Amino acid sequence: MYIILFGSPGVGKGTQAKILSEKLGIPHISTGDILRDAIRNKTTLGLEAKKIVDSGQLVPDEIVVGIIREVLKSEQTKNGFILDGFPRTVQQAESLEHLFNELNISEVFLIHITAHTEEVIRRLSLRRSCKQCQAILNLNEIENPEVCPICGAINSLYQRHDDEESVIKDRINIYNITTFPVLDFYKDRKKCLTIDGFQPIEAVNAQIMKELKPD
Ligand code: AMP
């Protein structure tokens, strides 16, 4: 199954992608995660991308398209994938269409997760990640912020630079101006499902699964 998870930063794409990946047995491909790994490992890509990612701007199309091209042509995605955070511009969507044609991929689901801007800002400012196991957590739901509730690592929880309040608003603006028009591009090209992301994680997931596998 081929899935594009679409929606503004903080809407829960990463969380849903992880659950769907387990349930459907297909890999979760997040361009944000790939870039953060490269930054952590100080690769050429990471050094180039660090400033852009930390400031919440978009990495140039040719770089992210290059990353996705390499991943989609690899063994790991030959039976399906869940794209999270890509495409984010109409140009990326166009390049992805070419790639789908090249790879003979025809049935792609676009899942658009929606939520109110105020809720998104609230979630992003409370979001913490674990350096050890990469879990995505909500500060309000963590008993002791010094211990990761998932893997038990000590002092491993951190706030992404781009989740700091000063950057969040820029990211949402970029989403509204540059990324949202991608939906229009797909309207007549893909099966598009819209899901209200303002519900508990399990409810969002159940609805997505129902839409993907109606019986
Ligand atoms: P995310 O984890 O999806 O919120 O992505 C984190 C950051 O990585 C974004 O704010 C961008 O700086 C960069 N990034 C991720 N995906 C893309 C993309 N498709 N196009 C451009 N930049 C991206």
Give me the domains of the chain, ranges plus CATH numbers: 2-117+177-182+191-212 (3.40.50.300)
Distance between CA 137 and CA 147 in Å, rounded? 12
Kindly give the pairing relationship between strand 127-130 and strand 191-196: unpaired
**At 83, is the secondary structure helix, strand, or coil?**
strand
Distance between CA 110 and CA 108 in Å, rounded? 7
**Of the listed 36, 123, 171, 190, which one is catalytic?**
171
Cα 184 to the chain's mean position, in Å? 19
**What is the CA(53)–ligand 1 centre distance, in A?**
7
**What is the CA(88)–ligand 1 centre distance, in A?**
8
Among 5, 11, 35, which residue has the most ligand 1 atoms within 8 Å of its CB, making it the best to mutate? 35
13-70 confidence digits (pLDDT tens): 999 999 999 999 999 999 999 999 999 999 999 999 999 999 999 999 999 999 999 9
- Among 129, 117, 135, smallest CA distance to 162 is for 129
**The pTM is what?**
0.93
Block means of pLDDT (10 residues each) for the chain, 215 residues, are 96 95 97 95 96 96 97 95 98 97 94 94 93 90 93 94 91 96 93 94 96 81
36 catalytically annotated: no
Decide: 46 and 34 in contact? Cβ < 8 Å. Answer: no
13 catalytically annotated: yes
What pLDDT, on a 0 to 100 scale, did the predictor assign at position 188?
Answer: 87
Q: What is the Rg, in whole angstroms, of the alpha carbon atoms belonging to the chain?
A: 17
**Of the listed 36, 127, 128, 190, which one is catalytic?**
127
